[in-house]
Amino acid sequence: MLIMTPGPIAVDDRVIAAMQRPVIPHYHPSFIQTMDDTMGMLKRIFGTSGDAIILPGSARIGLEAGVCSVVERGDKTLHIVNGCFGKWVSEIAARAGAVPTVLESEWGGVLDLNRVEDALKKAAYKLVTVVHSETSTGAVNPIREIGEIIRRHSALYMVDAISSLGALPLAMDEMGIDLCATGSQKALGSITGLSVVGVAPRAFEVMRARKQVCQSYALDLSRWPGMFLNKQSSRPYPVIPSTHLVYALQTACRLLLEEGLPARLERHKRFAEATRRAVAAIGLELFPDRRMAGDSLTGVKPPSGLHDSRITELMRDKHGVFIGGGLYDLKGKLFRISHMGVQASPLYLLPTLDALEKTLAELGHKFERGAALAAFGRHA
């Protein structure tokens, strides 16, 4: 089975091999060194002078840790939403006692930055959140421009980079991002089960100034500087990560930095464009349009009269390629081909496009056979 879903993604064999080690206690000196090495590489990938904290669990854990660590009961939060995942952060904030405001736009549509500016002028928000690469649609939000607007006000800025870190340009310090959450299983190229939160110094300052105790004991990021991040201490963990998943993440980060972050981003950009050209060559319409499309995945509208599940299930069950379907409001209206990490290569994308052509032909879609593969080859 070829995994071409937008998370979890297929991974390098060396990442799997990294986990084939004996069990080790999380407090063993060699594993503490592994944590330090991995977190140091993640800081470089996040582009922050702050810290990169590894937590057990999916990326949603990192989102919740970031929100509940800075938000106190009664705080106002603003959530920029143009897909299903952006809305979830507002629900996390509400459960943390905040008073969330959702600034919603058309799914996959171009974000109106004037609405963001106007909202920040009308109320004093503690935190503003946005999804960088909205995995449900394939759309990318302008996080640099949003950060410039937020810096003119006093709010903290939190970015969901779950399907963008390692695939799209992102630099926390340069872009004024205070909190940034991602997961191990997407563009970083590792195994599901770890969340990482980039925390800038200003976010730690806000945590230290809280008047109320954080509602979560395990996810309170303010405990890390006095515990594991304090190298003069015995290095206790506020919450314990999986040793073997950290080994995998360490290897994935090392492979990323060996390739070089600029080269990695350019590879994703090149193969994203080649994939878009390929699906267009067989008469399929992209979603969203090119103004919003990102380099993590390609969203495609099924031919008229076809539900996305007919395509995804036939590709998976008959042709051995697993791609993503539409979610929530886009269910039935969209299928998604991922090109993150090792997926961003002819080794993965050519068989995927071949399987897509075979599937569409079997479902009655009329097109020139081989056109997708030819277009991909011209632009890869």
Tell me, what DSSP letter sits at residue 293? B
Indicate whether 16 and 67 sit together in one domain: yes
Mean per-residue pLDDT of the chain = 96
Give residue 256's identity as a one-letter amino acid code: L
pLDDT tens digits, 123-132: 999 999 999 9
Do 223 and 178 belong together in one domain? yes
Region 105-121 average pLDDT: 92
The CATH number that applies at residue 352 is: 3.90.1150.10
Q: How far apart are CA 24 and CA 31, in angstroms?
A: 8
- When pLDDT is averaged across residues 169-186 and rounded to a whole number, the result is 98
Q: At residue 380, does pLDDT exceed 90?
A: no
Number of domains forming the structure of the chain = 2
Quickly count: other Cβ atoms within 10 Å of residue 243's Cβ.
17
Clarify whether residues 61 and 139 are in a common domain. Answer: yes
Among 208, 225, 258, which residue terminates a domain? 258
Residue 6 lies in a domain: no
Q: CA-CA distance, 1 to 152, in Å (whole number)?
A: 49
One domain, residues 248 and 298: no
Q: Mind listing the pLDDT tens digit for each residue in 307-348?
A: 999 999 999 999 999 999 999 989 999 999 999 999 999 999
250, 268: one domain: no
Is residue 148 one of the residues assigned to a domain? Answer: yes
> Has residue 290 got a pLDDT over 80?
no
7 belongs to a structural domain? no
Does residue 168 sit in helix, strand or coil?
Answer: strand
Q: What is the pLDDT of residue 318?
A: 98
Which residues does 27 contact at the CB level (< 8 Å), separation at least 6? 235, 237
User: What are 353's two structure tokens?
Assistant: 């496009």
Residue 16 has pLDDT above 80, yes or no: yes
290-297 average pLDDT score: 90
Same domain for 280 and 222? no
Does 323 fall in a domain?
Answer: yes
| Model pTM score | 0.96
Q: Are residues 208 and 326 in the same domain?
A: no
The residue assigned the tokens 């090792």 is: 342
The Cα 216–Cα 192 span in angstroms is 23
d(CA 102, CA 42): 30
Please check whether residues 306 and 374 belong to one and the same domain: yes
Give the model's pLDDT for residue 298: 97
Q: Is the residue at 216 inside a domain? A: yes
Confidence of residue 289 (pLDDT cuts 50, 70, 90): confident
Please report, as a single letter, which amino acid is at residue 307: H
Q: 299 and 156, same structural domain?
A: no
In a domain, 54, yes or no: yes
| Predicted confidence (pLDDT) per residue in 37-62, tens digit | 999 999 999 999 999 999 999 999 99
210 plus 283 within the same structural domain? no
The answer on pLDDT for 302 being more than 80 is yes
Q: Which of 258, 292, 319 is the last residue of a domain?
A: 258
Note the pLDDT of residue 86.
Answer: 87
Residues 92 and 203 in one domain: yes
Mean pLDDT along residues 350-358? 98
pLDDT in tens, 245-279: 999 999 999 999 999 999 999 999 999 999 999 99
Considering the domain boundaries, does residue 329 fall inside one? yes
Q: In degrees rounded to 5, what are phi and psi of residue 169? A: -60, 125
Regarding whether 122 and 252 lie in a shared domain, the answer is yes
CATH (domain of 107) = 3.40.640.10
Which residues share a beta bridge with 299? Answer: 336
- pLDDT bucket at 68, cuts 50 / 70 / 90: very high
CA distance 92 to 180: 15
Give the residue from 258, 274, 298 where a domain finishes. Answer: 258
Quick one: pLDDT at residue 87? 87
> What is the dihedral angle through the alpha carbons of 347, 350, 356, 361, rounded to the nearest 10 degrees?
-140
Residue 4 maps to a domain: no
- Domain residue limits at 221: 12-258
